[in-house]
Amino acid sequence: MIQTEDKHAHVLVSVDVVVLTLVERELNVVLVQRARAPFAGVWALPGGYIHADEDADAKASAARVLRTKAGMEGAYLEQLATFTGPARDPRGWSVAIAYCALIPLESLPTQRADLKVVPVHAVGQLPFDHAQILQAALARVRSKSQYSSLPVHFCGDAFTLPQLQQVYESILGESLNKVSFRRKMDEMQLLEPVPGALQGGGAHRPAQLYRVRPAFRQELALSTRGL
């Protein structure tokens, strides 16, 4: 490394992940108890340093943080924004590359004392600028849910259209027109029926089960005019 670079080039860089899930129609966020200073013992967003020797990029760092600090695999991950400045971390000028993860409740590990799932409206104080990062994640998810397939990542492998509509309604905080919702889902060509699979169990007509088409497992589908 050339000497003249060192003056400015290197600042503290970490990744922080806002893991969101739906619990009883409410957005919840996953917090972990910090193992070390600063803020040892405090509940915070899962985060960690970039490991230049093993991470292919910051997204890989975020995935590794989820795996090692929250025992979580396979969540949908997208970069949110990067938060910077001298005040956000007591150790000095720092950079946090924030990611947003969406995961079905069933895929969260259970029985971990260092993990908790909290309704987003009931999250109290958070260390660093994690409250601001959480707000940015919520704004992003609510905004993208208006015109994209993002919310399917809160569902498991197979789900019914009424279930998916309820997921959208929970995120957007408003009820949606059933006919319009189905028209839009159809237009996006996001889903395919699971052949012969119906979800019964109630005293009523069973619903067709659907799954996300392979093309949209990693990519989002967009609807031109919203919803």
Partner DNA sequence: TGAATAGTGTCTTTCAGACATTATTAC
Partner DNA sequence: GTAATAATGTCTGAAAGACACTATTCA
The torsion angles phi and psi of 164, rounded to 5 degrees, stand at: -65, -40
Which range of residues in 47-55, 79-87, 100-108, 219-227 is near DNA by CB under 7 A?
219-227
Whether 47 contacts 15, CB under 8 Å? yes
Strand partners, 82: 97
Q: By CB under 7 A, name the one of 68, 143, 206, 215 that touches DNA.
A: 206
The DSSP result for 140-205, as a single string, is HHHHHTTTBSGGGGGS-SSEEHHHHHHHHHHHHTS---HHHHHHHHHHHT-EEEEEEEEE--SSSP
Stretch that binds DNA, among 46-54, 65-73, 85-93, 180-188 (CB under 7 A): 180-188
Give min distance, CB of 7 to DNA, in A. 53
For residue 156, which of 209, 78, 227 has the smallest C-alpha distance?
209
> Which of 161, 171, 191, 212 touches DNA by CB under 7 A?
161
225 binds DNA (CB under 7 A): yes
Please state the closest distance from residue 49 (CB atom) to its own copies, in A: 4
Q: Which 96-115 positions form the footprint of DNA (CB under 7 A)?
A: none
Binding site for its own copies (CB under 8 A): 1, 5, 8-14, 49-52, 56-59, 79, 81-82, 84-86, 91-93, 95, 97, 224-226
Indicate the SS3 state at residue 48: strand
What distance in Å separates the CA atoms of residue 23 and residue 17, rounded to the nearest whole number?
Answer: 19
Is 51 an interacting residue with respect to DNA (CB under 7 A)?
A: no
Q: Whole-number minimum distance, CB 176 to DNA, in Å?
A: 7
179 lies in the binding site for DNA (CB under 7 A): yes
Rounded distance between C-alpha atoms, residue 103 and residue 154, angstroms? 5
24 near DNA, judged by CB under 7 A: no
Q: Which residues neighbour 128 within 8 Å (Cβ) at sequence distance 6 or greater? A: 16, 39, 44, 88, 89, 96
Q: Which is nearer to its own copies, 12 or 215 (CB)?
A: 12
Q: Which of 198, 215, 217, 222 binds DNA (CB under 7 A)?
A: 198
**Three-class secondary structure of residue 7 per DSSP:** helix
Q: Does 142 bind DNA (CB under 7 A)?
A: no
